[in-house]
Structure 1
Amino acid sequence: MRTLTRVIAAAAATLACTAALAQTYPDKPIKAVVPFAAGSATDQIGRAFAQKMQEALGQPIVIDNKPGVNGMLGADAVAKAAPDGYTLLIGTNSTNAALKSLMKQLPYDQDKAFAPVAYMGSVPLIIAVNPDVPAKTLKELVDLAKAKPKSINFASASTSQLVSTEMLAGMAGIELTNVPYKSGPAAMTDLIGGVVQMFSADFAVMLPQVKAGKVRGLAVTSTKRSPAVPELPTVNEALGLKDYELIAYFAMYVPAGTPADVIAKLNKAANAAASSKEVQEKFAGIGFAVEPGTPEDLAKRGATETAKWAKAIKDAKIEPQ
């Protein structure tokens, strides 16, 4: 009986602490881990959301960039953080859908390490080449690659960038050579400099360089043309493919075990940010599509996306590392 009484007392104390945490949360600054480099789309979107969310929460949200291994290093840091709502993950399809299919082993359980908070939005990618590449269209680039297999190098610093290009290569019947980078901005620098010939990246990284004429945009990876760059065809249009589509998405997570009331407060603040005129106008030019919803909505989307990316990675014949 004494043992049972101690167990019940301990459980009651835990519930009391959890309730107290939820009532006072947040009472100190919150850290949002961005698992990609400063200047990346994840970083830009994460910072915009953080700025709006801290207005609703009444505490600063500090961005902490932890790039590396397609977002794995930053995700791992959040997976191992205290489940108290003071460490957030600005996750992507890389960290929360594709990594388990790209890596032979992760330092955390991708399906169980995180609790979903809110879906933030999605963006398509632009496939581009260095201006010195003698291809004015995606069809011409494919023809070049067919004439000289593996002669065209492409950059990748995230799952979206890698899989979008490998999917294209597989469906078009060409062989390309991947050059991995730690960050999208670094890969872009080398594309402009001619170190690599090809790069598929989100609008935030790619569109300004296309508009400035520093790289040549060839196609977008969505199924519809983007209003931000209507002159670029879709991959489907450019190559006559029916089933090609790949978009990058962004979502917020916390460590598993975070109290439901804390998650609810974060979800409300994140949805308010997604619905704000400031965020929508800021990213309208990069084709950012928001879709506010519940944590349960994000959980369902995560399961669907994980299966989708597993198939895409398998079809692209990408071997786990």
Structure 2
Amino acid sequence: MTLPWLSRRCLLAGLALAAPARAQGAGWKPARPVTLVVPFAAGSGTDGVARIVAPLLAEEIGGTVVIENRPGANGAIAAVAVARAVPDGHTLFMTTNTTHSANPALLRQIDYDPVRDFAPVARLGNPAFLLVVGPEVPARDVASFIAWAKGKPGGVNCASANAIGVVGMATLARLAGFQATTAPYRSAPQALTDVIGGRIDAMMIDITASLGHIREGRLRALAVTTRERSALMPDLPSLHEARVEGFDLAAWNGVFAPAGTPGEVTGALGDALVRVLQRPPVVQRLAGIGFEALPAGPAPLAALVERELPRWAEMVRAAGIEPE
């Protein structure tokens, strides 16, 4: 399977969809280091994006950006911490659809509101997610995986470290007609260790966290979770294409500040992030870890959250998942 670092299509898409930027150096400047909170562990896909973006954002705003990983409770621990932070631009939240689309439907009780408690700063782009299996699973493609899963006594053991993992595997099991039990993990690297070790059969995971294992043969990628093939891995079929008709799960990544952060601050930070993700070398680096840059400012990110909340609620309901 070819794993290109970057296709021309991906590069052009990342540039064409980027919002117009203001001149470098304009706007708000930090008075002290900015903390960029990531709701997943080091080694996760979101953490990989943060490690690329944070030092470049620091250059743009003329300050220091420090990454703080706060995993746990499907990202809710980090979300609550950011929601309660001082709204002055010095605390930012690089997060995903897990905390800001899916958690209200997945969790029986959450101590934050993804709309009311946050000020959108910038959309960054989309990570590509894959269905992967460990080396002991005999399946080489989606059809053989489903056939194997249907015949496995006790069903398939799955892992989840985010909303795609929870909702995706439940949806696949329902559409394909096999039994699956999903175990929640605090972090994607921990879950991948158990998939590779044969304690877990399969999971849905982003390219960023899994690519190294796939290249070295410790994991086998069977399909992408979006309806269409990913420009980042064009040789890999989608689950829909592999006759799991209707399967379509996409993730997104964005940056938020606590609600009440002044508009001139979120605007300056959003402009800075868009400028960073407009740079061709940055687009290429992100594509190399399985992330498609689609930068946009606060208003498009706010609109995305509003659209995605009811969509994820319906997907959770259709998958038959009971809130925990």
Note if 1:278 corresponds to 2:268: no
Alpha-carbon displacement from aligned partner over 1:54-97 (angstroms, at most 9, x marks no partner): 11100100000000011111111001101111100001001111
Shift of 1:195: 1.0
Structure 2 counterpart of 1:219, from 223, 229, 239: 223
Alignment of 1:132-281 (within 5 A): 132-148=136-152, 150-238=154-242, 240-281=243-284
Q: Summarize the Cα distance change of 1:226–1:43 in structure 2 as closer, same or farther, 3 Å threshold.
A: same
Note if 1:319 corresponds to 2:322: yes
Partner of 1:95: 99
**RMSD across aligned C-alpha pairs, in angstroms?**
1.6
Alignment of 1:81-92 (within 5 A): 81-92=85-96
Mapped contact 2:40–2:46 kept (Cα < 8 A): yes
Q: Summarize the Cα distance change of 1:23–1:206 in structure 2 as closer, same or farther, 3 Å threshold.
A: closer
Letter matched to residue 142 of structure 1? I
Task: Please give the alpha-carbon distance, in whole angstroms, between the structure 2 residues aligned to 1:24 and 1:52.
Answer: 16
Mapped contact 1:226–1:287 kept (Cα < 8 A): no
Query: Normalising by structure 2, what TM-score?
Result: 0.88
Listed as ranges, the gaps of 5+ residues in structure 2 are 1-25
Mapped contact 1:227–1:287 kept (Cα < 8 A): no
Task: Please give the alpha-carbon distance, in whole angstroms, between the structure 2 residues aligned to 1:253 and 1:143.
Answer: 43
Letter matched to residue 275 of structure 2? A
Mapped contact 1:221–1:244 kept (Cα < 8 A): yes
Aligned partner of residue 111 in structure 2, secondary structure: coil
Listed as ranges, the gaps of 5+ residues in structure 1 are 1-21
Partner of 2:33: 29
Structure 1 counterpart of 2:111, from 107, 110, 123: 107
Alpha-carbon displacement from aligned partner over 1:140-188 (angstroms, at most 9, x marks no partner): 2212222236421011111122111111111112210111110001111
Letter matched to residue 245 of structure 2? K
Alpha-carbon displacement from aligned partner over 1:209-240 (angstroms, at most 9, x marks no partner): 111111111111122223443332110122x1
Structure 2 counterpart of 1:128, from 123, 127, 132: 132
Note if 1:295 corresponds to 2:298: yes
Which moved further from structure 2: 79-88 or 44-53? 44-53
Shift of 1:316: 0.7
Letter matched to residue 251 of structure 1? G
Query: Normalising by structure 1, what TM-score?
Result: 0.89
Q: How many residues align?
A: 299
Higher relative contact order (CA 8 A, sep 6+): 2
Aligned partner of residue 210 in structure 1, secondary structure: helix
Shift of 1:121: 0.5
Task: Please give the alpha-carbon distance, in whole angstroms, between the structure 1 residues aligned to 2:161 and 2:270.
Answer: 29
Which moved further from structure 2: 225-234 or 188-197? 225-234
- Percentage of pairs with the same residue: 40
Which moved further from structure 2: 149-158 or 193-202? 149-158
Q: Flag the structure with higher helix content.
A: 1
Mapped contact 2:155–2:178 kept (Cα < 8 A): no
